[in-house]
Amino acid sequence: MCGRLSQYRGIHDFVAALSMPNALVSTVGEQPLERYNVAPSTQVALFHIEGDTLHADRVRWGWRPHWAKDRAAPINARVEKVAHGAFFRAIWPHRAITPIDNWFEWVDEGGPKKQPYLIRRRDGAPILCAVIGQFPDADEGPEEHDGFVIITADSAGGMVDIHDRRPVVLAPELAREWLDMATPKERAELMLLHQSEPSETFEWFRVSQAVGNVRNDGPELIQSRS
């Protein structure tokens, strides 16, 4: 996963896709997010549970433990290692969902530049990505070390031709279980490893080279290009 995505719907559209009855506390706002070219290290909307309440906050995409100051903050975590490695141990219990509209990958097709592709659900529904991180406290607000990583797995089927890794995407009922802090860590790991949405759930197509520049951010970036 190369590290670029879109989040352009409103937060309540994403809540509807998640279909959770919990009360919602949102610091994201009511208007459509309208972000078509979201890059790492920027603030990205996500859902997490605090008490019995669903919280929607903007959190920096990227996280590293305090003792790893000599390296850049990773933006992704491999599902094969995330539950047991030392690097993400502190945030493995802190589960969240980042709802996105699509993500982008770049493919070497022999031209002067790699060709960007957009990947989205075939049914047009939001994509519910499993993430872990350090999130704002409802009472104390955002802190310097808040951040999150998207959990990724090997691609399968035709998606391998686009990229060998993909986000771990959960169906709504599994996303709700993932968010529930009563879900045992062992069960959470099994969901990631064996119950993510299959490659057949998604479609992909070429888009403009303009998406390669993070300063470009408009709906034209998600339009198909032959």
Q: What are the catalytic residues?
A: 2, 105
**Tokens standing for 10?**
């409103």
Indicate the SS3 state at residue 111.
Answer: coil
Q: How many CA atoms lie within 13 A of 59 on its CB side?
A: 29
Distance, in Å, from the CA atom of 16 to the CA atom of 38, rounded to the nearest integer, reads 22
Query: How far is Cα 81 from Cα 221, in angstroms, rounded to an integer?
Result: 33
Cα within 13 Å of Cα(178), Cβ side: 29
Residues 6 or more apart whose CB falls under 8 angstroms from that of 201 comprise 121, 122, 123, 169
Q: What angle do CA 70, 71, 74 make, to 5 degrees?
A: 150
Q: Alpha carbon 208 to chain centroid distance?
A: 22
Q: How far apart are CA 112 and CA 202, in angstroms?
A: 27
Nearest to 7 by CA among 76, 105, 98, 133: 98
Q: How far apart, in whole angstroms, are the C-alpha atoms of residue 135 and residue 151?
A: 16
